[in-house]
Chains A and B, each alone.
Chain A
Amino acid sequence: MPMVNLSIIILVLPLISFVFQMFFGRRLEGKKGEWISISLVLVTLLLAIIMFASMLFDYQPDFRQEAQFTWLNLGSFQLEMGILVDNITIIMLLVVAIISGLVHIYSVEYMKGDVRYSRYFGFLGIFTFSMYGITVANNLFMIYCFWELVGLSSYLLIGHWWEKKSAADAGKKAFIVNRIGDIGMFMGLLIVATVAGTFNYELLFERIGNGAWAAGVGGLFGGVDPSTLLTWAGVLIFMGAIGKSAQFPLHVWLPDAMEGPTPVSALIHAATMVAAGVYLTVRIFPMLTPDAMSFIALIGGFTAFFAATIAITQNDIKKVLAYSTVSQLGYMIMALGTGAYVAGFFHLVTHAMFKGLLFLASGSVIHMMHHSLHKLGDHETDAQDMRNMGGLRTKMPITYTVFLIASLSISGIPLFSGFLSKDAILAGTWAYAAHIHDGWLAQAHLGWLLPFFGFSAALITAFYMFRLIFMTFHGEPKNKAVFDNMHEAPKLITVPIMVLGALSTWIFFTLPSFNPLGGEGWFQHLVEQAKSVVPVGAFDAETFAHGLHAAHYPAMYTSLIVAGLGIGLAVLIYLLREIDPEKIATRLGVLYRGSLNKWYMDEIYLHGIIRPFLKGCGAVATFDMEIYDHYVIDGVGRRVKSLATGTGVADDLVVDGAVNLFGIIFQWLGWTLKFVQTGKIQNYLIYVLIGVLMVYLINVF
């Protein structure tokens, strides 16, 4: 069966799960109704594995199948919907299927007894459907549609426990902040539609490459330079990724999104949906000009660093992971901006596994904390605050082990998957800074900012991950009563996390090689650097490739040193207690408070934008009714009424034969008004009379 057909089945099954749960789920709660959703998703996983296996079997880097149909046809304007399956699609489908399948299973235990249990599984279904949609779309319009739909499912799942105001707020915030990014993306789409006349990736790239783009610009924006417009189109479409992948300055929704159930955080807000922005950037990579790439690299690099500085001081276990996600997404985006295409997508895949794992494992801790607190009848203690944990490694050995694996992976330690992809990204920034001279970032001699951001973030990442491990799993239990009631989570939770633990090791990504330091595996063979189609001053992929080769070892040593430094610091402070963290906090003062308060971004938005804007809206509403309507519209009415009363009967009007048109209208209007207010409404008749009069009048002149 062609891959396209398989992917259509994969796409449709989760939608069936959604519809099923919406209509019949409630009746089947407690009767294993959720297993219908789980089975459907597991079938998609099976199909994704089949596709993946066939990809490995064929081993064709340029494998590609496409099918589409005309969705609407307006003659001169058409929209198509279609499926594109290439190696990137297949890998992404598998990633989504793995995480979604495991999260479905995990949720059976985690969400047991939830008020809206079946609905939850329905929402997981529509999310998985939308995410598959983004993955298989063959054009920008279709990806935009599914883009919004994942936004919807994210909204629904973040707000799953909407009785809590913070959860409802977070869902709304996620949707609206994402839509701000989407405006940009939509404008990019408008430019593409106008200039290239197609949304299809391949056609679009072809038209950019063969000069049709330049010819299509025409008088748009006063006849702007085609390359400049191409830069703008790339940057604007990328704005969608800024929103969805929570890049600075639209990152603010993601930490709040942790209000959703933890499996949701793992699936949507760590592994897959937030990576959709990266996936989009991968898809549009060939059309990015060096200037657009400079912008992308800078946004990504800054985000990687910025978010890491926040993660360092958070005490909520999920908040640490949330900022860590923002930071890691920044890495991927930065990689694409520097031209390290393969590395960026590679990190998406490895990150999906180890970050999904981190969330699910933290969920395991939180779940058991809840159980323990529930047993104690304690509703005050925060089950997610690491200051209430400590020493849990003896109670939860499996969770601890996989947590450690994932932390080593994200810190970039050899033998683990994160090392492979992270190292490739850091080498990419190094190569970029040393060898690339295209794009405004390099031309402004700011290229070295990227390795700076990259390596500092790597240092901080290693530090905060081990801070988290030590605060949670080592040391003395902070709360003895809670600790005593803790134990390992049930199988439905531990099995999924063990699977992800295995997938966080190097071996799955380097085959057929067993070398833990990476090099060339199936991934590097089957995912090839996409070729730029930018006609003028395209990104110099060849120089970059040479630079990458040269930077490989120095970058690797440096990254190992910084990771070691970060872990060592964490050991000193949180394990051996050689340095008192409180003292550092006081000494750093402003920096500490800034980090703890997320650099006040939410406050800046609230006071700088949201409040003033809402005030503006209030002013518009008041102006509309209290001022404009009351004084102008009703004012005219009152004026006319008094005028009409003053002049008396309409008879005079006819006798005078006043030709003043407005006079007549207003007279008559006022007269009607008076009439109406007496309660006898026969003005229709009068009106016809006046009408006839006007026929006459116009006839005259």
Chain B
Amino acid sequence: MSAHLLTLVTFIPVLGGIIIAFIPREKLDAIRWTAVAATALQLLVSFVILGSYDRMNPDIQMVEHYSWIPAFNIEYFMGIDGLSLPMVLLTPFISFLAIFSSWKIPKAQKGYFSLFLLLDTGMMGVFVSLDFFLFYIFWEVMLLPMYFLIGMWGGPKKEYAAIKFFLYTLFGSVLMLLGMLALYFSLEPHTFNMLILRDAAPEIGQKLLLGMNAAKVIFMLLFVGFAIKVPIFPFHTWLPLAHVEAPTAISVILAGILLKMGTYGFLRISWPVLPSATLWFALPMAILGLINIIYGAMAALAQKDLKKMVAYSSINHMGYVLLGMSAMTAAGMNGAVFQMFNHGTITAMLFMLVGVVYDRAHHRDIDGFGGIAAKVPIYAGVVALAWFAGLGLPGLSGFISEALCFIGAFPVFTWITIFATLGIVLNAAYFLWSYQRIFFGPLNPKYENLEEINKRELWTLVPLAVVVIFLGIYPAPMLDLMSGTLNQLVDIVKTAGMMAGF
């Protein structure tokens, strides 16, 4: 058993999905509880993985390595290290909680939960694959259920949002596919094995493709694919739409996990395999990070729709990740991956909380509330916690990762970091301003009978809050898991870059 933990953690959800397919559609509770069981089991396995993970070892662990399609040298190759482990923990955690946010999905629950679980498998697969082809398959597997989940269970403009998301991502996937194949053919024998590709980085860096440096060309191809997922400006316009139209649980998944696939892709593939191109593109990447931070925050400040504001806050928060990871310093890199994890938990809270009030008021117009803290004090309290986590208050996890990103980036991109610190104020501005408009002031008589957050909703949020507070007070356990691998990654990129003359 223990040898197949990664396979288990990846495929348990889809098994649950298949079981659901055989449950009659009227047996709603059976469907829901099967979904709960599947994700709970997956979560449990992720804890076992955490338990047996050796944090002193920065290299790949729990390897599962089999030949899959020998004709093309495609392998079933899984393994995790300090980069993937945080994501392997995050994915089942968020998915499990998101199942409870999906409790009241109004129609076709059977299809919904099956697709949800398929999506879960796709995401998890991305984070454990070490064969690029396998990685790519999982990347695409996640796409289809997401399309349906937005397109069928979403809001008023769901079709438009779903197609937009689909085409955007597909466009990126195509370029990524090209990049992947170019990598595949660049070595003899052809391989998708990421570790072999990584070790051959100097060789790939020397090659030419279409008359240009192969590493740079491939980097740019992969860049578009990953950038759309993050999303990096100017590839971000699918996000506000998709997040707003998707049902609550799917927004949670989108922002909480999916976005991380983009930055994960950079760190898993582009960084180690194409280090010279990475250094070549580090400055533009940091600038894009800055743009994400400021542009996202400014757009968030102007939103009238609460969910859209939260959506833009994701663009803003992922900017810190970009800034941190482009600096190639220990603090920046660890800060970036830690921020990926923290943004996952914090933004999950934000979207769930938006969902709670939307379920009651049936609108999300920030100016359409007013004074409701008087009616729903517990809800107001939880929102305050999440909002303050979002604006980076010390004592809550987001602060440390943002601070580390800044500290890591400052020696390398001094001026960019200086401008990026403006984000600290803008974050406070949009979170506090929206909070005031919703909760403070005289009570809007329309919400005289607003219902307080219920037990199910509250207990969905509590685990997230606990993690956010715990890691805010004591971040070391999480950072210890990843720092070995990430410091090694920094060294790999730097050494390779030095050899290439950077």
Contact = CB atoms under 8 A, between A and B. Distances in A.
| A joins B in a complex | yes
Interface of A: 22, 70-77, 141, 144-146, 148-149, 152, 155, 159, 162-163, 165, 168-169, 172, 175-176, 179-180, 182-183, 186-187, 190-191, 193-194, 218, 220-221, 614, 616-618, 620-622, 624-625, 628-629, 633, 637, 661, 665, 668-669, 672-673, 676-677, 681, 684, 687, 691, 694-695, 698-699
B421 A672 contact: no
B410 A193 contact: yes
A77 B330 contact: yes
B23 interface: no
B178 to A, nearest CB: 7
B336 to A, nearest CB: 12
Contacts of A694: 174, 177-178, 181
Given A75-B487, A625-B237, A163 B441 contact: yes
Nearest to B168: A633
13 contacts: A77-B329, A149-B394, A162-B440, A175-B428, A187-B418, A193-B410, A221-B414, A625-B237, A629-B237, A669-B167, A673-B167, A676-B163, A694-B174
Contacts of A77: 329-331, 334, 407-408
Contacts of A73: 476, 479-480, 483
A362 B166 CA distance: 64
B302 A617 contact: yes
A578 B295 CA distance: 61
A668 B170 CA distance: 10
Interface stretch (B44-52, B98-106, B268-276, B431-439): B431-439
B393 A148 contact: yes
Contacts of B185: 698-699
A149 B240 contact: no
A492 B28 CA distance: 60
Interface string B362-378: 00000000010110000
B167 A74 contact: no
B425 interface: yes
A155 B391 CA distance: 14
B422 interface: yes
A614 B181 contact: no
Contacts of A691: 177
Given A165-B442, A687-B170, 10 more contacts: A22-B381, A72-B400, A73-B479, A149-B394, A183-B422, A194-B410, A221-B414, A621-B298, A665-B171, A698-B182
Contacts of B400: 72
Nearest to B136: A691
A77 B475 CA distance: 14
B21 interface: no
Q: Which 7 A-B pairs have the closest CB atoms?
A: A145-B394, A168-B440, A621-B302, A629-B237, A162-B440, A617-B302, A190-B410
B429 interface: yes
B481 to A, nearest CB: 12
Most central of A74, A146, A179, A187 by chain B CB within 10 Å = A74
B421 A183 contact: yes
B393 A152 contact: yes
A672 B417 CA distance: 41
Contacts of A183: 421-422, 424-425
B187 to A, nearest CB: 14
Nearest to B475: A72
What secondary structure prevails in chain A residues at the interface with B? Answer: helix
B320 interface: no
Interface string B323-350: 0000001110010000000000000000
Given A74-B487, A145-B395, A665-B171, A179 B425 contact: yes
B436 A169 contact: yes
Contacts of A668: 174
B348 to A, nearest CB: 22
A695 B342 CA distance: 38
Given A148-B394, A168-B440, A176-B425, A620 B177 contact: no
Contacts of A149: 393-395
A172 B301 CA distance: 14
A183 B418 CA distance: 9
Interface string B466-493: 0000000011100110011001000000
Contacts of A152: 388, 393
A194 B177 CA distance: 40
Contact of A186 (B404, B421, B441): B421
A620 B436 contact: no
A681 B298 contact: no
Contact of B424 (A179, A614, A618, A622): A179
Given A149-B395, A163-B442, A673-B167, A617 B373 contact: no
Contacts of B303: 621
Contact of A614 (B301, B399, B432): B301
Contacts of A159: 440
Most buried by B among A22, A146, A165: A165
Nearest to A152: B393
Nearest to B478: A72
B409 to A, nearest CB: 9
Contacts of B234: 628
Nearest to B439: A162
B138 interface: no
Contacts of B171: 665, 669
A672 B178 contact: no
B374 A75 contact: no
Contacts of B174: 665, 668, 694
B8 interface: no
A637 B167 contact: yes
Given A163-B442, A669-B171, A687-B170, A620 B302 contact: yes
A617 B393 contact: no
A149 B167 CA distance: 44
B245 to A, nearest CB: 13
